[in-house]
Amino acid sequence: MNDYRKNSLVYVGTYTYGDSKGLYSFELNHETCKTSNLQLVAELSHPTYVATCKEKNLLYSVIKQEDLGGTRAFKIKSDHTLSEINTILAEGKSPCHLSFDKNFNYVFSGNYHEATITIMRICEDGSLSEPTEVVKHTGKGSGIVADRQEKPHVHYCALTPDEKFLAVVDLGLDATIFYPFNKLNGTLDKHNKIVIPSAPGSGPRHLIFHNSLNYFYIIHELSADVEAYAYNSKDCTIEKLQTINTLPKDFSGDNLGAAIRISPNGKFLYTSNRGSDTISIFKIDEHTGLISFIHHVSTFGKGPRDFSFDPSGKFLIVANQNTDSVIFYEVNCETGLLTKLEEELAISNPVCISISNL
């Protein structure tokens, strides 16, 4: 019998082209980084982003269903397979990002193609309510990169740590927007928003707040830059601190920035690039919030769209979309450096890694 206290449950979202049938899971041993029980847990179309609520044994996934897109709620069963609870759909393509509030009362959904932010209440049985709020970014994009910024493209939405704002990253607008959030009724204040502009043509993609300090960082898909900011929760002010590029200096090919994570100990920031196919490692100055480059490491595959730490912080898991591989690194928690491990899984078109303790 497995010792579940030593294991994490990892869900892998995919594009269902080629051999992929939907959403997969496997177990990861915290001590050895050995995997077991790889299985298809839900057969569905393009579950490209998933978020798990281990406290309630719930999982939420974006889905595509004919001409509709939306979010599906699942109950996680004892064998880690999934039982559908309900689905909330809307016309258009599927969302690209999901997040929760701290108490798991709401799901926040960002849709790149439709440029919408949708808020749904989580009911007692884990089902999703009809939206309490849908905000659509309208008008033209920045237009700097014509085929990517012709209109708004919401790529990320999640609450600030104090839950005063929903932070929305819009690649098409070259901007991140902080909307005041009303947690009583699940709505946004569109009139008192804070707009944080990024460099023209940089294409902001994802944002991450520091685990314990008042700093956040934005990864830009089109420029591969990271911007560092200070966030003052008391007076709700934001100060830009730094812009730093994440690409290897000798790389000159086509590239798209992808994921951004902070180590569980809060000491290091990591980003992935699709093109250079590297993970970039930075040290975080806890006093200033500034980051300094440490090292680039190959992803040993192409298209590292997502990566995540296991709960122990000892291992990093990378999804290489274009080479159908999930690879593993050991993390040196003192230096931030990564060492490639022999463990590797073959999963078609992996694009999202979601991890929880068993």
What are 298-311's pLDDT values in tens digits? 999 999 999 999 98
What pLDDT is recorded for position 93?
A: 94
Confidence band of 271 (pLDDT split at 50, 70, 90): very high
- What is the reported pLDDT for 5? 61
1 confidence band (pLDDT: 50, 70, 90): very low
Phi, psi of 355 (to 5 degrees): -125, 140
pLDDT at 41 over 50: yes
- Parent domain of 115: 48-130
Q: Is residue 54 part of a domain?
A: yes
Angle at 123 between CA 122 and CA 125, to 5 degrees: 120
**Of residues 338 and 358, which shows the higher confidence score?**
338
Contact 61, 23 (CB under 8 A): yes
* pLDDT tens digits along 47-105: 999 999 988 999 999 999 989 999 999 999 999 999 999 999 999 999 999 999 999 99
Report yes or no on 251 lying in a domain. Answer: no
Position 208 scores a pLDDT of 99
Residue 135 within a domain? no
CB 225 within 8 A of CB 170: no
> Is residue 148 included in any domain, yes or no?
no
Asked whether residue 77 is domain-assigned, the answer is yes
- Output the pLDDT for position 4: 44
Mean pLDDT of 166-194: 98
Domain annotation covers residue 101: yes
More confident residue, 1 or 52: 52
pTM: 0.97
Q: Write out the H or E segment, with its range, that includes residue 200.
A: none
Mean pLDDT of 296-325: 97
Going by pLDDT thresholds of 50, 70 and 90, the confidence category of residue 15 is: very high
Whether 135 and 179 have beta carbons less than 8 Å apart is answered as yes
pLDDT at 156: 99
What does the pLDDT look like over 193-239, one tens digit per residue? Answer: 999 999 999 999 999 999 999 999 999 999 999 999 999 999 999 99
CA gap 211, 333 in Å, rounded? 15
What CA–CA distance (Å, rounded) separates 219 from 291?
Answer: 13
Query: Is residue 55, in this structure, part of any structural domain at all?
Result: yes
Instruction: Please give the average per-residue pLDDT across 259-274, as a whole number.
Output: 98
Q: What percentage of the chain carries pLDDT values higher than 70?
A: 99
Q: What b/e sequence results for 88-115 when a residue is b if at least 16 CB atoms lie within 10 Å of its CB, and e otherwise? A: bbbebbbbbbbbbbeeeebbbbbbbebb
pLDDT (0 to 100) of residue 3: 46
Q: How far is CA 185 from CA 53, 88, 154, 262, in A?
A: 21, 18, 22, 31
Mean confidence (pLDDT) of the chain: 96
Q: How many structural domains compose the chain? A: 1
Is residue 336 situated within a structural domain? no
